[in-house]
Amino acid sequence: MTRQISFDEVKKHNNKDSVWIVIHNDVYDVTSYLEEHPGGEEALLDVAGKDGTQAFEDVGHSEDARTVMKKFKIGTLPPSEQSGSSNVTNCSNLKWAIVALAGAIVVGIVIKKYLS
């Protein structure tokens, strides 16, 4: 069974000595990962003791990054404190789909112009 950790407890871990972050309602202790994080330790310290879901998804982490983070999971927020963070993933995916569609339209216009 997954350990339930309150958001009040997460908030206490907001400095270089102890960095806990909530991502998609799961709690991660990334203290030991500060020096290894490819985006630098500041990226993690900015969301220490907070919900970092939006920041995590905005960066567009790879599947490898999502696999690496699993080893830092220490628990989950209690159901009463969980947010609908799955919507953040859907919004992030929609954002990238719109960017891809816009890019395809531009490429199509350029090709049509030069082939005419």
Domains and CATH numbers, the chain: 7-83 (3.10.120.10)
- The pTM for the full model equals 0.71
- With CA atoms as reference, report the closest residue to 69 among 21, 35, 14, 17: 21
For residue 26, is it left (φ>0), alpha (ψ between -120 and 50) or beta?
beta
* 94 band by pLDDT with thresholds 50, 70 and 90: low
* Residue 85, pLDDT above cutoff 70: no
> Tens of pLDDT along 55-68?
999 888 889 999 99
- What's the confidence (pLDDT) of residue 31? 97
Report the side by side order of strands in the sheet with 14-15: 14-15, 18-23, 26-29, 73-76
Contacts of 86 (CB under 8 A, 6+ apart): 24
Is a pLDDT exceeding 50 seen at residue 106? yes
Quickly state the pLDDT bin for 92 (edges 50, 70, 90): low
